[in-house]
Amino acid sequence: MLKKIGFLLCIIVIVINLLNYNFDLDFSDNDNKISLIGVLASLCALVLIVISMISENISKKIKD
C-alpha cells in the first residue's frame, strides 16, 4: 500500500513540475532548471518504486 501511495505521489510531482516548466524559455532559466531537476528526481524515485514492486511480486511467486 505504501508503495502505491509513493507511486501516486511521484506521478503528481512529475505533473506539477511539467506544468511549472516554461517551454518558451531556455534550459538556462533557473525556474526551468528547478522543474527539470524535480522531474528527473521524481522519475528516479518512480523507477525505484517500480523495481521494488516487481521484486516483491517475484519473491511472492517464488514462495508459492
Is residue 22 domain-resident? yes
Is residue 27 domain-resident? yes
Is residue 9 domain-resident? yes
What pLDDT is stored for residue 47 in this prediction? 97
Is residue 63 domain-resident? no
pTM: 0.82
**Most distant CA pair in the chain: distance in Å?**
54
Domain count, the chain: 1
What pLDDT is stored for residue 45 in this prediction? 96
What pLDDT is stored for residue 64 in this prediction? 80
Q: SS3 string of 8-64?
A: HHHHHHHHHHHHHCCCCCCCCCHHHHHHHHHHHHHHHHHHHHHHHHHHHHHHHHHHC
What pLDDT is stored for residue 25 in this prediction? 79
Has residue 30 got a pLDDT over 90?
no
Domain region containing 40: 2-58
* Across 15-21, average pLDDT: 92
